[in-house]
Amino acid sequence: MMLAQQETNLPPTISIKNLSIDYKAKRGQVQAVRNISFEVDRGEAMALIGESGSGKTTIGLGVVGLLPPTAKIRQGEIIYRRAADGKIVDEIDVLKLNPQQIRQFRWKECAMVFQGALNAFNPVLRISDQFADTASAHNALRGMALKERATEILHMVRLDADRVWRSYPHELSGGMRQRVLIALSLLLEPQLIIMDEPTTALDVLTQRNIMDVLKDLRKNLNFSLIFISHDLSLAAELADKVSTVYAGKIVELGDVYTVFRNPYHPYTIGLIHAVPTLAGRKEDLTSIPGSPPDLINMPTGCKFHPRCPLADDQCKTQEPDLEEIGKGHRVACWKWQTARETLKRFKAS
């Protein structure tokens, strides 16, 4: 924590500016990411929240240069800054790296833990071999030093290091594999970790377990985190800041506390209401009607207007930009001032 305090004066670990990513499909261009900008500070966790197909994962893949060949980055820049001894020692424009450089960048600077990573390990290699592969790809640790480091991080994720080290992936349960992957992401001490739905596809108890591990890691280690999830409650637990992503665009961004207490965008409001609590009665759960937009034939104006009860002619023709409405709290909605009140009245009637 001390370290984090000192480093808060430094510029952010990652700054994404005006990033737009398209996919080529038979029917036309899929606009997966549209003009997105955000920053993640040292030791900070940013949650990207949205329905599936909103473009969250594409952002993550873009940062580590793993977009499929059909994807094209139309514009924008991704600046990553490495800090050491309290100052910035390196500033990297990720999109300008050549293949060899981006390969070195991955995992060493920015590790990505994938969605549904039950199948994240090569089934024919032992966990030890896969750690060694990762280390040797970056000319990092080997031999005993590697084993020691691995034992240390496997302990951090609450695994029996000796047993896991010798195992093949199929000998581990889903939750264990996910924790091994999280441990592996820490191996080279990257300053940025992207976690794409790290708990999806696991049962509730295992999810809980992993969330506890992640909270521990956040407390004890100093890395910046981009946490991608469709589950607001997980984001609330883990993140410092939250961005709501809709149709490839950030529609609301702010610190976790503010956004949860005072959401302004009708979509965020809907998402928060869609979170079932164990205590809450089922009738309270108002999910958002309609389905996410077709990213090839997007609606005009605000992309949320077909599903928004507040939409008027302006919403149908003009797309709102993010607008600063409080300290670090930004919203892209024409109706933000009245949204919450109006929605409450709708719900009552």
Partner 1 sequence: MTAGEVTQPKPQGFRIQDLPGKIWSNYVLRRIVRALVIIWLITTIIFFVIRLMPGNAFDLMVADMVVNRNMTEDEAKIRASSLLRINFNRPIGEQYLEYMSNLAKGDLGYSFINNNRTVQELLAQKLPWTLFSVGTSLMISFTLGMLLGMIAAYKRGSWLDHLITNFAAAMDAIPQYIYAIVLVLLLGVIWKIMPVMDMKGVLSPGIKPGFTFEFIWDALMHLRVPAFVYVLSTVGNWALSMKSSTLSTLGEDYVTVARARGLSDSRIITSYVGRNASLPLVTALALSVGFALGGSVVIESVFNYPGIGLELSKSLSNRDYPMLQGIFLITTTSVIFTNLIADLIYGWLDPRIRIAGGE
Partner 2 sequence: MDAISTIFKEIWKTLRLIAMNKMGLLGFIMIIFFILMSFVGPYVVAPDLQAHVKEINQGPSVKHPLGTDFQGKDNLVQIVHGGRDILTIAFLAGLMTTFIAVLVGSFSAFFGGMVDTVLMEITNFWITIPKFPILVIVASTAKLTNLWLLALLLAMLSWGGFARQVRSQILSLKKREYVEAAQLLNLGPLHIIFREMLPNMMPFIATSLIFAMTSAIYSQTSLVFLGLVPFSGSNWGIMLSSAFAKGALYQKDAIWSVIAPVGAIALFQLSLVWFSRSLEEVFNPRLRSGV
**Amino acid, res. 204:** V
Q: Smaller CB distance to partner 1: residue 116 or 309?
A: 116
User: Can you tell me which of 1, 26, 204, 277 binds partner 2, judged by CB under 8 A?
Assistant: 26
Q: Smaller CB distance to partner 2: residue 25 or 145?
A: 25
Query: Which has the closest alpha carbon to 214: 150, 131, 158?
Result: 158
Site for partner 1 in 206-235 (CB under 8 A): 209
Report which secondary-structure segment, H or E, holds 83.
Answer: strand 71-84
Looking at beta carbons, which pairs linking 93-98 to residues 24 or more positions away fall under 8 Å?
94/63, 94/65, 95/65, 97/65
Residue 227 interface partner, choices partner 2, partner 1, none, CB cut-off 5-8 Å depending on type: none
Whether the Cβ atoms of residue 271 and residue 244 lie closer than 8 Å to each other = yes
Alpha-carbon distance 112 to 110, whole Å?
7
For residue 247, what are its two tokens? 């149709």
Report which secondary-structure segment, H or E, holds 164.
Answer: helix 161-166
Query: Which has the closest alpha carbon to 53: 74, 15, 25, 80?
Result: 25
For residue 189, what are its two tokens? 């001490």
Residue 298 interface partner, choices partner 2, partner 1, none, CB cut-off 5-8 Å depending on type: none
Q: Smaller CB distance to partner 2: residue 25 or 285?
A: 25
Stretch that binds partner 1, among 108-116, 239-247, 275-283, 291-299 (CB under 8 A): 108-116
For residue 219, what are its two tokens? 């407390």
Residue 209 interface partner, choices partner 2, partner 1, none, CB cut-off 5-8 Å depending on type: partner 1
Alpha-carbon distance 221 to 213, whole Å?
12
Residue 62 interface partner, choices partner 1, partner 2, none, CB cut-off 5-8 Å depending on type: none
Q: Could you give the string, one character per residue 146-185, with x where binding to partner 1 holds by CB under 8 A and - elsewhere? A: ------------xxx--x----x-xxxx-xx----x--x-
User: Can you tell me which of 23, 38, 80, 105 binds partner 1, judged by CB under 8 A?
Assistant: 105
Alpha-carbon distance 20 to 287, whole Å?
29
User: Can you tell me which of 8, 9, 70, 317 binds partner 2, judged by CB under 8 A?
Assistant: 70
Instruction: State the minimum distance, in angstroms, from the CB of residue 124 to partner 1.
Output: 6
Instruction: State the minimum distance, in angstroms, from the CB of residue 159 to partner 1.
Output: 7
Q: How does DSSP classify residue 301?
A: S
Q: Smaller CB distance to partner 2: residue 24 or 166?
A: 24
User: Can you tell me which of 111, 127, 150, 217 binds partner 1, judged by CB under 8 A?
Assistant: 111
> Is residue 285 close enough to count as binding partner 2 by CB under 8 A?
no
Map residue 229 onto helix, strand or coil.
strand
Residue 242 interface partner, choices partner 1, partner 2, none, CB cut-off 5-8 Å depending on type: none
Positions that interact with partner 2 (CB under 8 A)? 24-26, 70
